[in-house]
Amino acid sequence: MAFAAIPGYLPAHLLSDASPGLRFNMYLPIWGEDKRSGQKLWNVKDGTYEVRGQRREERRVDKVNKRSAMDHATALTPDDQKRSAELRKRQAALARPMLASGHLFLAEGRSVAPFATGLGNEHLLENGFSFLNPYGMPYLPGSSVKGVVRAAARELGWNESLVTVLFGHPAGRDEQLLRGVLSFWDVFPAIRGDRLLVELMTPHQSDYYAPGENGRTRALASPHDSGDPNPIFILTVPPESLFGFHVSCDMTFLATIAAQQGDAINADVVEAARQLHELPEQWKVLLSEAFDHAFSWMGFGAKTAVGYGAMVRNHDEEARIQGEIVQERKRAAEQVARLGKSEAQLLVADYIAWCDEMVQSTQGRRTKIGGAEYQRTQALAQTAREGNWTAQEKAEAADAIEHWAVKLIVLDAKEARKRFGLAALRGNG
């Protein structure tokens, strides 16, 4: 039975309680043993014994442990799912005020194919995976997102000076290093289901593509389908998972580039920065176009050329988040408006907010006299008349009732003034 290379004194529940990142990178039960003798083989194969052949003789059969080991690393425990959700919740909390102030761009995506990332990381299985330490959950580094979006910008034919301002460029012979004004956040996927997926790739022409002498490709044999298949397992995030892409723009640094004079920065780059600085929302428009192109034609993560990492833009989720931000702004404005108001003025403010919600929920349909809207309005008018309200407070109540009663109740303005005694509240009767 395959085992993990961990000290024997560690508790038995360590493997099941560990995060996916630890199970995949540190505690992978892949090392084989001889099933009969119990000897540790220290390779990725278990030594099993089966009766085979025409003589039906028992012989040793080595079975590769790669797939079974990866299956062990794919499960997401309730703690894993909670940890992943908390990461996204924390990121959303950081993003909300920046989205509300207009300093952050948001693009939501939904994967339509398995998503792979970090396959180039060193690993015993030949293909690694990107887990965020110390949480051990899958993530897409912001640097990877930046590379995809920059490639999309160039495919769209953006001016190279504009690309330089937004994404930066390395130091060259004639130009100094320049940091781009955009910052790309890491992406924490909302994984669909309770496990990661194992994907299989099986090259059949390994001999043809394997390097020969001096690192050159072997040319002695042509590629054909009778080659020895080489199964390669990779870890992926399942389709229908959700991805949130956040990008911020350093407007202060953009202004600094735009104000440059002399030969410190290329003149075309300075001009591009000036144009962006004059149109503060333009960087979001450009990013939206680049992300649309990346979603439609490029994909994110590894192995995108063969279909991995394909996504569609989730406009519904973006609209939902923007709607929540609008409501948060509205509630904040209402709280500010309530500061310094008397108890009577707060009652009027609550009545106005309630009427506004009722008009929206009923889509402008008015109710008959005696309904909930009529009773609420009558109660406010009576409280204003009988309470110890100032003349200004009574006048504010009368104005609110006259404005909203005709929108909620089947009344005209004259009848509303008569039924609710608005003339008396204004001191005219």
At which residue do the structure tokens 């590894």 appear? 302
Residue among 39, 46, 44 at smallest CA distance from 61:
46
Q: What one-character-per-residue DSSP string does 298-347 give?
A: I-SSS-GGGTTT-EEE-HHHHHHHHHHHHHHHHHHHHHHHHTT--HHHHH
Beta bridge partners of 401: none
Give a yes or no: residue 221 inside a domain. Answer: no
Residue among 358, 394, 247, 245 at smallest CA distance from 309:
245
The identity of residue 347, as a single letter, is L
Residue 140 is predicted with a pLDDT of 95
Q: Are residues 190 and 260 in the same domain?
A: yes
d(CA 59, CA 49): 5
What is the number of domains present in the chain?
Answer: 3
Choosing from 323, 355, 375, the residue where a domain stops is 323
Give a yes or no: residue 376 inside a domain. Answer: yes
Give a yes or no: residue 195 inside a domain. Answer: yes
Q: Are residues 366 and 238 in the same domain?
A: no
* Local structure of 201: helix, strand or coil: strand
Looking at residue 279, the DSSP 8-state letter turns out to be S
Kindly give the confidence (pLDDT) of every residue in the chain, 429 residues in length, as a single tens digit, with 9 standing for 90 and above.
677 778 878 787 777 788 899 888 888 888 888 877 778 878 778 778 788 878 888 887 778 778 888 888 888 999 999 999 999 999 999 998 898 888 899 999 999 999 999 988 888 888 889 999 889 999 999 999 999 999 999 999 999 999 999 999 876 555 667 889 999 999 999 999 999 998 887 777 766 666 655 555 555 567 666 667 777 888 999 999 999 999 999 999 999 999 887 677 788 888 999 999 999 899 999 999 999 999 999 999 999 988 999 999 999 999 999 888 888 887 777 777 778 888 898 899 889 888 888 888 888 788 888 888 899 999 999 999 888 899 999 899 999 999 998 888 888 888 888 889 888 888 865
Tell me which residue range forms the domain holding 306.
76-209+227-323
Residue 213 is predicted with a pLDDT of 58
Return the axis-axis angle of helices 343-362 and 372-386, rounded to nearest 10°: 170
Give a yes or no: residue 252 inside a domain. Answer: yes
Give a yes or no: residue 275 inside a domain. Answer: yes
Return the biggest CA–CA distance within the chain. 116
Residue 251 is predicted with a pLDDT of 92
Q: Give φ, ψ of 84 to 5 degrees.
A: -65, -45
d(CA 369, CA 389): 27
Q: Are residues 202 and 302 in the same domain?
A: yes
d(CA 382, CA 421): 9
Structure tokens at 320: 């939902």
Verify cis geometry, omega within 30 degrees of 0, for the bond prior to 11.
no
Choosing from 323, 357, 380, the residue where a domain stops is 323
Q: Are residues 198 and 178 in the same domain?
A: yes
Predicted TM-score (pTM) of this structure: 0.76
Pairing of strands 232-236, 45-52: unpaired
Structure tokens at 365: 């349909």
* Local structure of 357: helix, strand or coil: helix
Give a yes or no: residue 328 inside a domain. Answer: no
Structure tokens at 174: 């004639």
Q: Are residues 385 and 401 in the same domain?
A: yes
Q: Are residues 105 and 189 in the same domain?
A: yes
Round the CA-based radius of gyration of the chain to a whole number and report it.
Answer: 33
Q: Are residues 65 and 80 in the same domain?
A: no
d(CA 383, CA 375): 12
Q: Are residues 92 and 136 in the same domain?
A: yes
Q: Are residues 291 and 393 in the same domain?
A: no
For 2-63, what is the HEC assignment? CECCCCCCCCCCHHHHCCHHHHHHCCCCCECEECCCCCECCCCEEEEEEEECCCCEEEEEEE
d(CA 154, CA 237): 28
Residue 278 is predicted with a pLDDT of 92
By residue count, the chain amounts to 429
CA-based torsion, 397, 398, 400, 406: positive or negative? positive
Give a yes or no: residue 62 inside a domain. Answer: yes
* Residues of the chain by 3-state class (helix, strand, coil), percent to 5: 45, 15, 35
At which residue do the structure tokens 């039975």 appear? 1
The Cβ of residue 337 has, within 10 Å, a number of other Cβ atoms equal to 12
Residue 7 is predicted with a pLDDT of 81
169's CB contacts (< 8 A; 6+ apart) are 175, 177, 178
Give a yes or no: residue 5 inside a domain. Answer: no
Q: Are residues 114 and 30 in the same domain?
A: no
Q: Are residues 369 and 318 in the same domain?
A: no
Structure tokens at 414: 């004259």
d(CA 43, CA 5): 11
Choosing from 323, 349, 384, the residue where a domain stops is 323
Q: Are residues 398 and 265 in the same domain?
A: no
The identity of residue 371, as a single letter, is G
